[in-house]
Amino acid sequence: MIRLWHVSQSRSFRVLWALEELGVEYELIRCSFFDKSLRGPDHLARAPAGRVPAIEIDGQYLCESGAILLYLAETRGVHLRPAEGAAGRAVFLQGLHYAETLGAHLANLTQHHIVLREAWMRSETVMRLEAKRLEFALRAVGPDFVTGQFSMADIALGYAVLLAQRFGALPRVAAAYLERCQARAGFARALEQDGPAEIYTQPFYPPPQEEGA
Ligand SMILES: N[C@@H](CCC(=O)N[C@@H](CS)C(=O)NCC(=O)O)C(=O)O
């Protein structure tokens, strides 16, 4: 049985979505960032940085969302990735990893808007800069699925675009791409399983106004 350690709204949503797309059996273990359980020895044995996702699969633990998506495709869903050497493989790999180019900005914005609770801890310059860099990076997205047909790259990227709309208006093309992702039954099933909001309680976290603007 596959077991997924999951925190609602986090990158483990990617794996949840992939499992739902695949229709495989799995056990969902809901975790929280607030009870320190991800820093305990049991979880650190699964995920040395104390993060999610973590998954138990085929007698091993894996803890990097992109690697997990690729492994799931190779072992359980070859229709969700172009084979090595096949047309679309390079663009597929690029999409899978580009999701974490967006992810770096999203993580910085999440730290600043949500994790750093006191105003004095935050840098308004970084908040504005990261929002702008995210907006710029989103220009590489869509409107079609990464390889022309839905794949694990769209799960990686779709999740990043889903979050990006909390930090700025999506470019029109990225918004159309997200709609395609959200129209999938697997996405809807994953959303039902995701659980109550753990990280984002507001639909939108606007960048701070420039002084004198
Ligand atoms: N590159 C990793 C990043 C994993 C990651 O940073 N997960 C976040 C949630 S989105 C986490 O668990 N953060 C908890 C922490 O930093 O303590 C992946 O894609 O799986």
pLDDT tens string 132-147: 999 999 999 989 999 9
Q: Looking at 83-146, list the stretches that DSSP marks H as alpha helix, in order from N- to C-terminal side.
A: 89-110, 124-137
59-82 pLDDT, tens digit each:
999 999 999 999 999 999 999 999
Give the CATH fold of the 2-80 domain: Glutaredoxin (3.40.30)
151-196 pLDDT, tens digit each:
999 999 999 999 999 999 999 999 999 999 999 999 999 999 999 9
**3-state SS assignment for residue 29:** strand
Q: Does the CB atom of residue 112 touch ligand 1 within 6 A?
A: no
Strand (E) or helix (H) holding 193? helix 185-194
Q: Residue 121: how many CA atoms within 13 Å on its side-chain side?
A: 8
Q: Does the CB atom of residue 56 touch ligand 1 within 6 A?
A: no
Q: Which two tokens stand for residue 26?
A: 């799995």
User: Where are the CATH 3.40.30.10 domain residues in the chain?
Assistant: 2-80
| Nearest protein CA to atom 11 of ligand 1, as residue | 51
**Cα 71 to ligand 1 centre (Å):** 18
- Whether 53 and 4 have beta carbons less than 8 Å apart is answered as yes
Q: Does the CB atom of residue 64 touch ligand 1 within 6 A?
A: yes
Q: Does the CB atom of residue 43 touch ligand 1 within 6 A?
A: no
- Whether 170 and 138 have beta carbons less than 8 Å apart is answered as yes
pLDDT of residue 210: 84
User: Where are the CATH 1.20.1050.10 domain residues in the chain?
Assistant: 89-194
**CATH class held by domain 89-194:** mainly alpha
